[in-house]
Amino acid sequence: MNTRINAAITAVGGYVPDTVLNNAKLEKMVDTSDEWITSRTGIKERRILEAGKATSDMAAMAIKNLLNNTGVNPDEIEVLIIATSTPDHQLAPTAPLAAQKAGLKNAWGFDFNAACSGFLYALSVAASLLESGRHKKVLLVGADKMSAIVNYEDRNTCVLFGDGAGAVLLEPSKDAGAVLDTVYRSDGNGVQFLSIPAGGSAEGTTEQTLLEKRHYVEQDGRTVFKNAINGMTATSMEVLEKCNFTTEDIDWVVPHQANLRIIDVVGEKLGIAKEKIKVNIQRYGNTTAATLPLCLWDFQNDFKPGDKLLLTAFGAGFTWGSTCIIWGGLRNNNKK
């Protein structure tokens, strides 16, 4: 008898800051233009968290949004995983802070860093905690305050990133909902093309690293662009094969929101119509680990029980991969 426990997404939540940094404002900050940014990235605006607030604050707001709209008792949450590249502190993990701020009294938690692939990687970990039978309610949050690590004098990176958080609740499936299968990859050679060089154990903080602004995101855009397309396309095809799906079987693609041109090319290579690909990059920019859950939050009303979703991402490291899920029935949700 099949006793496999499937993990399904049963609720979603999200939060983006009120402050909007649009392309017109960026034109006054660096040598760029709305036309240049839009044509190369598809981004029109991004959200910026206010001074004095941190990643844990956004994560807590996304969690509260999920809990308030679904009526889930916070005391029933057993585990909180936060996927982030911008923890509140280098030593203290962000998850316990977010749990305290969101009123999760009984949840143990930890951070998960795989850059822009963080939420996708952590989804497999969260699902495994349920599939093992050890837990019944696991919260997974993707949250990043990218404005804290972006150099607003560098027009090649500052136009790309924004702040935000998205949350999903995973529970044992009571219907067809399930996290089906995954294909994940990583390549340490990618560090030279996309990373924050200083501030870690490889290159500590010194007066020189501060003067050289080596504590901000640096990237080789062309190399990242090419690898993202190849990586997301290849792992998407692999995971479809593992699940015995064709591209025609997929109802929706939820891609990492890094660059609209990347999304378009990946869709073309997969042969999936644009109408099936969810995009909100124009409003939020690249929120790193938050892009996938924010898409799930934004477009939740489009997803029907039984729909087949393909999630795919690429990030610093390099890290990349794809996951297939069956959308289950969400708890009652009165979002917005």
Catalytic status, residue 89:
no
- For the chain, the straight-line distance linking the first and the last C-alpha, in angstroms and rounded, comes to 43
- CA-CA distances (angstroms) from residue 69 to 142, 174, 181, 257? 18, 20, 29, 25
23, 286, 295, 324: the catalytic one is 286
23, 65, 227, 256: the catalytic one is 256
Length of the chain in terms of residues written: 336
116, 243, 295, 324: the catalytic one is 116
Catalytic status, residue 256:
yes
SS3 28: coil
Nearest to 232 by CA among 277, 191, 200, 189: 277
Are the C-beta atoms of residues 162 and 304 closer than 8 Å to each other?
A: no
Count CB atoms within 10 A of the CB of residue 297: 26
Count CB atoms within 10 A of the CB of residue 142: 33
SS3 72: coil
Query: Cα–Cα distance between 87 and 104 in angstroms, integer?
Result: 19
Sign of the alpha-carbon torsion through 248, 250, 255, 260 = positive
Catalytic status, residue 286:
yes
SS3 90: coil
Parallel, antiparallel, or unpaired: how do β-strands 252-255 and 308-315 relate?
Answer: parallel
Are the C-beta atoms of residues 176 and 315 closer than 8 Å to each other?
A: no
SS3 269: helix
Are the C-beta atoms of residues 70 and 62 closer than 8 Å to each other?
A: no
Count CB atoms within 10 A of the CB of residue 258: 27
Read off the tokens for 90. 């280098």
- Residue 57: enclosing H or E segment and its boundaries? helix 55-70
Count CB atoms within 10 A of the CB of residue 257: 30
Q: Which residues are catalytic?
A: 116, 256, 286
